[in-house]
Amino acid sequence: MERSEVNEKYVLTLVENSDATLSVRKMDIPSSEVPIAELQAMVENSNRTVYDMSSYFYSVFSPKIKAFAFCYPSEYNSSYIDQRAVPNEISYADYIDGVKEIEKRFNAKHLYSKDTKEALKAKLDKEIEAANKSAKELYFKKASIYIRCLRLSETVKKIKEKGEIKLYSRDIVGFSTYTHPINDDLTVELRTNFGYGSAAYFNLAVKYKDIVILPYSYLVHYYYANMKSLMACTRAYRPLRDSWESSINFIADFVNQSVADPKKFIGEYVIREIEEMMKGLRAIMDNPAEVQSRIKDSSLSEIRLSVIRPFNKDEIVMMETMSDELTTLFKAEKITGALLFVESLMQLQEVCGDMSPLIDEILSMNKMVKPEIPPVLNSVRSMIEAFKKEVKIIERQIKFKENRIRYFEQRKEHIQAKMTFAEKIAHDKIFREKNPQYVKLEEELEELNKKLYELHSKILKRERVEERLTVCLKRTENIEDYKKENHASK
């Protein structure tokens, strides 16, 4: 994928127009190419030192800001991003001291060398040049990043001075939230957390009268949905610089289409999402295995966001031996997950019209799925218990083998009691040759430990399935309460 130029060559902004609509505009970041090219040339020029680079950098920039908490040049899903600190100012005295230190180490290293003075001087010059080149490369890397971050910071400062700019593409490490009230009823909120690896996220929430417009269709389009996170957003994006284009354009389109008649637009938008979800839920009820397989093989199968994920490696492996159980889990998570949307659907009836038929259908689906969960849950628990019994058997075998090995090791220690370290090393090989049972016991112990690890891994994976099925079953406990509440809201 081509690297995005957002926050490198331009900052993406949302500008509010006089009619309350939004326009997407780019604000160019001042070019950094001239000073960076000059520093790069110094790296390649053997007549230039790291002192020359420092002198040039500080004469051009006179930096007042010590560091920037920007992600650049790292992507937003990177981890352990250091602050983009200004490179140190190097005085001529510091540079000379560094050269003297190289000379001191060189002379100590070649104290007894038989080389001629000319040969030693040539070697020393080469070593100083190599050290200088390395120092220049490190200085260039730090300086070029700082310069680009400085230009970005200057652009952001100008943006903040412009009242009509309501949102801009941020590059800040950590949490950031932007809220834009479209009118008294409608609000757009962008939440990001950059620079924290797998915990990074880039989510957008649209709220109508404090009710989050949920991405209902996500439930059926992806294998696994983190319902807690899903219930807090309208759209989720990959934590990448490239996502600024799609997220900001989505906000602009959403706002511009809703300005004239927010209630009507929200109603139509939500209905489309719900219809897509219901279509998917009906397909899952009819043939969960087919839908699961289609999702697994689709172009969406590799997408991983803060709110959804594809099959993981463990689940793909378990499909070979637990196909029925995992298919029931898939069906249960989708159908019972829809229950969590019921309250939102009730709240949105003001803009979407009567939702009770769809809510009744969701409740009916859950009533049908509920009795399917306990038998599968019991099956998974039986597997776990069977594996735990195997664990106990293997643990006893391991203990027996360890005791036998300890007997041989005590014999060896007794024989080697008065040997030197070198003699012990040599005797170890002889001892193993004379005691093949000892070697065999070690091999058997290694194999048993491997089996034990595999069993614990199988137990852990099935306990996760058990936990997810239990969550699904718990969701269905209040179906009748949902039903009463739904009919009371008519």
pLDDT in tens, 242-280: 999 999 999 999 989 888 888 888 899 999 999 999 999
Point out which residues pair with 367 in neighbouring strands: none
374-413 per-position pLDDT tens digit: 999 999 999 999 999 999 999 999 999 999 999 999 999 9
Q: Provide the H-helix boundaries in 298-372.
A: 313-318, 323-339, 342-347, 349-352, 356-369
- Whether cis (ω within 30° of 0) applies to the bond prior to 436 is no
Task: Map out the domains of the chain as residue ranges.
Answer: 10-161, 376-483
Number of C-beta neighbours around residue 486 at 10 A: 21
Number of C-beta neighbours around residue 112 at 10 A: 5
pLDDT at res. 166: 87
- For 350, the token pair is 């003001």
For the residues 109-113, what does the mean pLDDT come to?
Answer: 78
**Is 310 a residue whose pLDDT tops 90?**
no
pLDDT at res. 121: 80
For the residues 12-23, what does the mean pLDDT come to?
Answer: 91
- Please name which of 366, 330, 322 lies closest in space to residue 486, comparing C-alpha atoms: 366
**Is 288 a residue whose pLDDT tops 80?**
yes
189-221 per-position pLDDT tens digit: 999 999 999 899 999 999 988 889 999 999 999
- For 31, the token pair is 């070019």
Length of the chain: 490
**Is 99 a residue whose pLDDT tops 90?**
no
**Is 1 a residue whose pLDDT tops 70?**
no
User: What is the rounded CA–CA span in Å between residue 258 and residue 207?
Assistant: 12
- Please name which of 193, 220, 187 lies closest in space to residue 205, comparing C-alpha atoms: 187
pLDDT tier for residue 120 given thresholds of 50, 70 and 90: confident
User: What is the rounded CA–CA span in Å between residue 254 and residue 14?
Assistant: 12
User: What is the rounded CA–CA span in Å between residue 44 and residue 489?
Assistant: 75
User: Which pTM does this prediction carry?
Assistant: 0.82
Residue 445 CB contacts under 8 Å (≥ 6 apart), including other chains: 398, 401, 402, 405
**Is 488 a residue whose pLDDT tops 60?**
no
Q: At what angle do helices 356-369 and 262-286 cross, to 10 degrees?
A: 20
- Please name which of 209, 157, 215 lies closest in space to residue 181, comparing C-alpha atoms: 209
- For 176, the token pair is 């950031």
For the residues 416-428, what does the mean pLDDT come to?
Answer: 92
8 A C-beta contact, residue 296 and residue 311:
yes
8 A C-beta contact, residue 305 and residue 237:
yes
For the residues 213-237, what does the mean pLDDT come to?
Answer: 93
161-177 per-position pLDDT tens digit: 988 888 899 999 999 99
Judged by DSSP in three states, 437 sits in: helix
pLDDT tier for residue 299 given thresholds of 50, 70 and 90: low
pLDDT tier for residue 241 given thresholds of 50, 70 and 90: very high
For the residues 125-147, what does the mean pLDDT come to?
Answer: 91
User: What is the rounded CA–CA span in Å between residue 289 and residue 285?
Assistant: 10
Q: Considering the chain, what is the average pLDDT of its residues?
A: 91
For the residues 90-101, what does the mean pLDDT come to?
Answer: 88
- Please name which of 398, 404, 396, 386 lies closest in space to residue 455, comparing C-alpha atoms: 386
